[in-house]
Amino acid sequence: MKGLARICFALLVLFQYTQCLPRVDPLVDTKVGLIRGLRADDGNYSKFLGIPYALVNPDNPFGESTPQPKFEETFEAYDDSAVCPQWYWWTEEIGGNPDCLQLSVYVPDTANSNNRLPVMVWIYGGAFERGEFSQKLYKPTYLIKHDVIIVAINYRVGPYGFMCLDTPEVPGNQGLKDQYLAMQWVKDNIEAFGGDADQITLFGLSAGGHSIDLHLLSQKPVIYDKVIMQSGSSLAATVLYEPDKLAHIKLAQHLGFETKDTNEAISFLAKSDSNLVIAAFMELGIVFKPCVENSFDGVEPFLNSSWVHAGTPKVRNMPVLTGYNEHELAAPHFNKDEEYYKNLNIISNYLKRIFNFDEEELQEMSDSVAHFYFGDEAISSDVKMALINLDSDFTYIHPIQRSIQKYIEAKARNVYYYVFTYLGGRNALLDNGGGGDDSSYVCCAGHADELPYLFNMINKPPPTAHDEVVIERMTTMWTNFAKYGDPTPQTSDLLPVKWEPLTKESFTYMDIGAELSLGSRPAHDRMAYWDLFYRLKGDKNKV
């Protein structure tokens, strides 16, 4: 008994000793130096947070960034709180700092030099005006468990990312160039984390998806091998704006500095509090979007010609996964009073922004669109679902289908098309305060509603039992695509339906709802209308 007691005592001391040992955090040796991360406390992975990948010039934070130099000491990657200047949609406050070009790397324990894992690089949305990826909003735990490395990047938005002045100092598309520098960082350094630099999938929602399509159209070399665009297309109506070449002058004047000199205005704005610059841009209603750049000596353009009618040769032999949510723009129109509908002039406002129509033709085309969607009825709450369809079709769905035609013509390896229709407890638009296990209160699968089924979003309710199934299906298909270029390489109880790629003849898509099912040509009648519209009037597109 004494021997057994001694053994028990020794084990107890050893247990207490190991409990007191400091946690050993991961350390990786990259091309830019040593980086120390953190062991996750909610899964079998490590996280390297807020790694700087590029520098913004403080004298011109509206210009191009430059790659981050090598770290002189070990970089402690513990903090992902950096946010680029913007209006925070979740708090309705303004914040951020132009010195924000950081990325975070999430690495499963299974990744090592003998087992290099595929990499998925997330590009956030936010209309090119806002967005971030931090643990206070999103966690990639649903995706990580499928043995992929997740990289999330910050990039500049609004005036800091998309001011386009046709000058060498502010040529335009700075935010897209930020994204590319982040991709290059991943390509150069991800093997140190156990990643496969030859298996990099870009994926993004909305402006993130638009960005990925623009990367396929850009002057930059391809350093990724697969793309996932969620509600994303370079042809989306939210992308097609003519840049305001006097934006800097207007912002400076709004902040009390009168000048017509570009250098003076940029110098003033560079020294101004970024919160004031963002507030001024919002108050003035200036739109900052991707643009066609002029050519300058010593400045490499991202986009130097209109992409609207351009082909996408880069996508040749590349797997593509793309799609949309069934009622993309439900949120702006659903819970509104009659006064809202009475004063809505959505059709003519959209058409005259995108097309060069004279007044007579604008009226004729507006009447045509109204008749197709509403018949002889005026816009009111009685036709709000038709209004949601109109806005969704014009802004997102038909542009995505036009982009798909480009991918087919460019001979993409396979194009996998989806429509997200699931109504669950984590969807955004809940009517009458419903939700929970009873999804009958959910209005629609609206814009970004697929996001909480890919990421653990902390501002969403805990998933219901059926939500858990959808989460597992979505994350399995997305990571399968990153691994194999095929979201359903084999069927299973979880994925009982083989997702067939579309062709020009079949236009097959996966309906991701309460169950999975294959269909053909979603919203066919509405898409046929817009096909005809663009066939007749597409040459009058402004951009």
Task: Name which of 248, 206, 434, 447 is nearest 333 in CA terms.
Answer: 447
What are 106's strand-pairing partners? 47, 150
Give the Cβ contact number of residue 332 at 10 Å: 16
Q: Strands (DSSP E) along 271-391, which ranges? A: 320-325
**CA-to-CA distance for 353 and 340, rounded, in angstroms?**
21
Residues 6+ apart with CB under 8 A from 405: 504
Q: Which residue has the tokens 């990039």?
A: 155
Distance CA 114, CA 474 (A): 28
**Secondary element (H or E) of residue 334:** none
- Residue 206, Cβ density class (10 Å: 0-12 exposed, 13-18 middle, ≥19 buried): buried
- Active-site hit among 134, 206, 234, 392: 206
Q: Are 441 and 432 in contact (CB under 8 A)?
A: yes
CA 43 – CA 59 distance, rounded (Å): 42
Q: Is 348 a catalytic residue?
A: no
Q: Hey, is 402 helix, strand or coil?
A: helix
- Give the C-alpha separation, 521 to 509, whole Å: 7
In terms of Cα–Cα distance, which of 510, 521, 526 is closest to 470? Answer: 510
Q: Say how far apart CA 516 and CA 187 lie, in whole Å.
A: 34
Across the chain, how many H-helices and E-strands are there? 15, 18
Among 402, 386, 410, smallest CA distance to 541 is for 402
Tracing tokens 């809940």 back to the chain, one arrives at 430
Both structure tokens of 40: 């996750």
Beta bridge partners of 29: 34
Instruction: Quote the tokens at residue 217.
Output: 């159209």
272: phi > 0 → left, psi -120 to 50 → alpha, else beta; which? beta
Going from the C-alpha of 129 to that of each of 162, 249, 286, 308, the distances in angstroms are 9, 19, 11, 21
CA distance 109 to 185: 22
* Those residues with Cβ within 8 angstroms of residue 63's Cβ, 6 or more apart along the chain or in another chain: 57, 169, 170, 174
Handedness of CA 96, 98, 99, 103 (dihedral sign): positive
How far is the C-alpha of 8 from the C-alpha of 22, rounded, in Å?
A: 24
Q: DSSP secondary structure string, 491-527?
A: --SSS-S--PPP-TTT-EEEEESSSEEEEESTTHHHH
Q: Where in the sequence numbering do the catalytic residues fall?
A: 206
